[in-house]
Amino acid sequence: MGIIRKRMEIDDEVLGLISPSLDQRESVRSVSIELMGRVKQAVLETGIDLKVKLVGSVAKDTYIFRPDIDIFILFPITTTPNDFVKVGLWIGNQVIKGEERYAEHPYIHGVFHGFEVDIVPCYAIMDPVGLISAVDRTPFHTEYIAARLRESQKDQVRLLKQFMKGVGVYGAESKVRGFSGYLVELLILKYGSFRSALKEASIWREGTTLAIDEFGESLFKTPLIFYDPVDPNRNVASALSIDAFARFVHACQEYLKMPREAFFFPKPRRAWNIDEMRDSMLERGTRLLGLRIPRPQMIDDNLYPQVNKSLEGVKRILEENDFTVLDAISCVNEGRITFIFELQTDELPSLKKHRGPPVWVDQSERFLEKWKDSPFGYPYIDGGRWFANVPRPYPKASELIRGEISKASFGSGLRNLTSVQIFDNQEVLEGNLKVEVAALLDKTLPWLR
């Protein structure tokens, strides 16, 4: 069977699995209509001239599986910020029993008849270039795609979304830093089909610049630039990380060479048992260090940048104290955040070579006075400078973290370290960290598992 024919068959099979059935479409349609009716009724009770708009993948008919339903409430631009927030939240709370979440401003998130629902206030701006809040462009995005995406291309969007989900690059949120749904839709508008998009993406290079219409000199410095057709001052791909960009390019190259359903529906990574972990660590000759803290109550988009900052902060403490970090990951679970570090070694010599000033400068006397009684001998000259062999404050990595964790640069929401668990190599291997260790040691790409 030829590669092209096999790709076509796989595409058709995947579409059969991800395209909404007639019953699913009817369910989404009826729930959306009921929600819109409830929002409009709540709007009437405010006595304010507000508009209600269904946005997102449901409005554009590009959703897969069970979609989120996004309803926007458009406020006059003369609305004060206080009334904007107060009335927007009141309407949302009248419609669903949800929770307040925060983007640039608060909105209501909840579940209605089994569907995740967001009820979001925005300003009814006339031109997306003059937005007042970050979400004000969203209705324009919905209108732009709905007016231009052909019926046959909606399935192409679904295929590309599922492909990106499978290879782990779908979602612009800070947890993934991948491709947004809107960016996927623009790629299909740009290239015409799923296969054409993969073929073009397979030859992308860092800094690739795209647009639906003509564009001038690139204003952005990101791995991929795609000018927003409704706001030429915005890069739709601004959230995309270099690693997600590179993974997608590689996945496109590999799928075009050997198409498989595993790209769309990869096997989940399995937890390793203790013998597998021990064997792997013996073979690698490295050591593990674990750190676990409670997860604070905040939304993922606020949490993950702080988790990443905290991971780097702990890594910096280790490296500043001569522990070589070969790799590190963070794992966020229901009630905790876990950091795992792979170290070249987790224990260093008790002696540390300490560099001092040149022999001829005034600070020499102070250096000699401080270190003349070192248990490892009197200071010595090397290359015209004083050096001293001094006691290392923390020979063990776990002791270092216990003693210096308060000095690590943590994200602002993670600094209140009321409960910190630290695991040395043996405790990591024997503890309840098998999924996290597997994620650190097993870098197999999703479609190869």
State whether the Cα torsion 281-284-287-291 is positive or negative.
Answer: negative
CATH of residue 444's domain is 3.30.70.590
CATH of residue 356's domain is 3.30.70
Torsion region of 47: left, alpha or beta (phi above 0 gives left; psi -120 to 50 gives alpha): left
Q: Do residue 59 and residue 32 come from a single domain?
A: yes
DSSP-assigned letter for residue 271 = P
Torsion region of 318: left, alpha or beta (phi above 0 gives left; psi -120 to 50 gives alpha): alpha
Supply the pLDDT for residue 432. Answer: 83
For 19, the token pair is 């395209």
Q: Is residue 15 part of a domain?
A: no
Q: Is residue 433 part of a domain?
A: yes
Beta strands at 115-123 and 69-75: parallel, antiparallel or unpaired = parallel
DSSP-assigned letter for residue 233 = E
User: Within 10 A of 37 (CB to CB), how many other CB atoms are there?
Assistant: 12
CB 352, CB 391: distance < 8 Å: yes
Q: Is the pLDDT of residue 412 over 90?
A: no
Q: Which residue has the higher pLDDT, 384 or 409?
A: 384
Q: Do residue 318 and residue 336 come from a single domain?
A: yes
Q: How many distinct helices (H) and strands (E) make up the chain? A: 15, 15
Residues 95-148 have pLDDT tens digits of 998 898 887 789 999 999 999 999 999 999 999 888 898 899 999 999 999 999
Burial of 229-248, coded b for 16+ CB within 10 Å and e otherwise, reads bbbbebbbbebbeeebbebb
Q: Is the pLDDT of residue 202 over 90?
A: yes
CB 395, CB 350: distance < 8 Å: yes
For 156, the token pair is 């192409």
CB 55, CB 142: distance < 8 Å: yes
Q: What is the mean pLDDT of residues 196-200?
A: 98
Residues 32-82 have pLDDT tens digits of 999 999 999 999 999 999 999 999 999 999 999 889 999 999 999 999 999
Name the pLDDT band for 299 (thresholds 50, 70, 90). Answer: confident
Alpha-carbon distance of 308 to 409, in angstroms, equals: 11
Q: Do residue 299 and residue 406 come from a single domain?
A: yes
Supply the pLDDT for residue 66. Answer: 87
Q: Which long-range contacts (CB under 8 A, 24 or more apart) does 171-174 make?
A: 172/239, 172/240, 173/239, 173/300, 173/301, 173/304, 174/239, 174/300, 174/301, 174/302, 174/303, 174/304, 174/305
For 53, the token pair is 């708009």
Q: Is the pLDDT of residue 215 over 80?
A: no
Q: Is the pLDDT of residue 8 over 90?
A: no
Supply the pLDDT for residue 14. Answer: 95
Residues 373-405 have pLDDT tens digits of 999 999 999 999 999 999 999 999 999 999 998
Supply the pLDDT for residue 2. Answer: 65
Q: Is residue 432 part of a domain?
A: yes
Q: Do residue 257 and residue 174 come from a single domain?
A: yes
Q: What is the mean pLDDT of residues 215-238?
A: 89
Alpha-carbon distance of 14 to 370, in angstroms, equals: 71
* Closest among 400, 439, 398, 404 to 422, alpha carbons compared: 398
Q: Do residue 289 and residue 228 come from a single domain?
A: no
- The residue among 234, 263, 292 that closes a domain is 263
Q: Which amino acid is at 369?
A: E
CATH of residue 92's domain is 3.30.460.10
Contact residues for 36 (Cβ-Cβ < 8 A; gap 6+):
52, 54, 71
Alpha-carbon distance of 80 to 121, in angstroms, equals: 13
Q: Do residue 136 and residue 241 come from a single domain?
A: no
Alpha-carbon distance of 219 to 143, in angstroms, equals: 25
CB 117, CB 96: distance < 8 Å: yes
Supply the pLDDT for residue 297. Answer: 84
Q: What is the mean pLDDT of residues 160-175?
A: 96
Q: Is residue 225 part of a domain?
A: yes
Q: Is residue 199 part of a domain?
A: yes
Q: Is residue 4 part of a domain?
A: no
Supply the pLDDT for residue 281. Answer: 92
Q: Do residue 59 and residue 164 come from a single domain?
A: no
CB 73, CB 121: distance < 8 Å: yes
CATH of residue 163's domain is 1.10.1410.30
- CA dist 342 to 172, 310, 326, Å? 28, 16, 6
Alpha-carbon distance of 121 to 388, in angstroms, equals: 64
Q: Is residue 5 part of a domain?
A: no
CA angle 139, 141, 147 (to 5 degrees): 100
- The residue among 201, 230, 263 that closes a domain is 263
- The residue among 213, 231, 263 that closes a domain is 263
% of residues, the chain, pLDDT over 70:
98
Name the pLDDT band for 413 (thresholds 50, 70, 90). Answer: confident
Q: Is residue 124 part of a domain?
A: yes
Domains in the chain, number: 4
Q: Do residue 103 and residue 138 come from a single domain?
A: yes
Name the residue with tokens 């068959």. Answer: 9
Q: Do residue 59 and residue 200 come from a single domain?
A: no
Q: What is the mean pLDDT of the chain?
A: 93
Supply the pLDDT for residue 406. Answer: 86
Q: Is the pLDDT of residue 214 over 80?
A: no
Supply the pLDDT for residue 1. Answer: 52
Q: Which residue has the higher pLDDT, 374 or 5?
A: 374
Phi, psi of 298 (to 5 degrees): -155, 155
Residues 241-289 have pLDDT tens digits of 999 999 999 999 999 999 999 999 999 988 888 899 999 999 999 999 9
* Closest among 436, 167, 109 to 301, alpha carbons compared: 109
% of residues, the chain, pLDDT over 90:
79
Q: Do residue 368 and residue 400 come from a single domain?
A: no
Name the pLDDT band for 348 (thresholds 50, 70, 90). Answer: very high
Q: Do residue 179 and residue 244 come from a single domain?
A: yes
Expressed as residue numbers, the domain containing 298 is 274-347+395-448
Phi, psi of 222 (to 5 degrees): -135, 165
Q: Do residue 115 and residue 242 come from a single domain?
A: no
